């Protein structure tokens, strides 16, 4: 089922919007606390995930944890692959 869905999404350039929605809906389960409560996914484009942090202090912590966040997402069962994270 997933392969058919991904083919259709890819054909109509809807893969990233779909994965973006899935990231938003599952953020609290994908990312470990407290980071999941102080950040939110904003945009996914070309495998770069843009995150919004609640404060500059949390933004710095997300920068420090960037590789962990990428691994948590890439190891999830959502089939999302992230290369990089951009913070706003």
- The CATH number of residue 19's host domain is 3.30.300.180
pTM attached to this predicted model: 0.88
Least confidently predicted of 46-50, 69-73, 77-81: 77-81
DSSP state of 76: S
* Segment 11-25 mean pLDDT: 90
CA distance 86 to 61: 13
33: domain range?
2-87
Number of domains in the chain: 1
End-to-end CA distance of the chain: 35
Helix (H, G, I), strand (E, B) or coil at 87: strand
């Amino acid at each position: 089922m997933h392969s058919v869905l991904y083919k259709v999404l890819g054909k109509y350039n809807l893969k990233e919007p779909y994965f973006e929605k899935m990231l938003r809906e599952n953020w609290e389960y994908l990312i470990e606390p407290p980071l999941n409560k102080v950040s939110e996914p904003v945009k996914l484009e070309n495998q770069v995930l843009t995150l919004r942090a609640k404060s500059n202090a949390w933004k710095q912590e997300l920068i420090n944890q960037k590789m962990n966040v990428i691994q948590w997402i890439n190891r999830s069962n959502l089939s999302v692959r992230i290369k990089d994270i951009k913070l706003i």
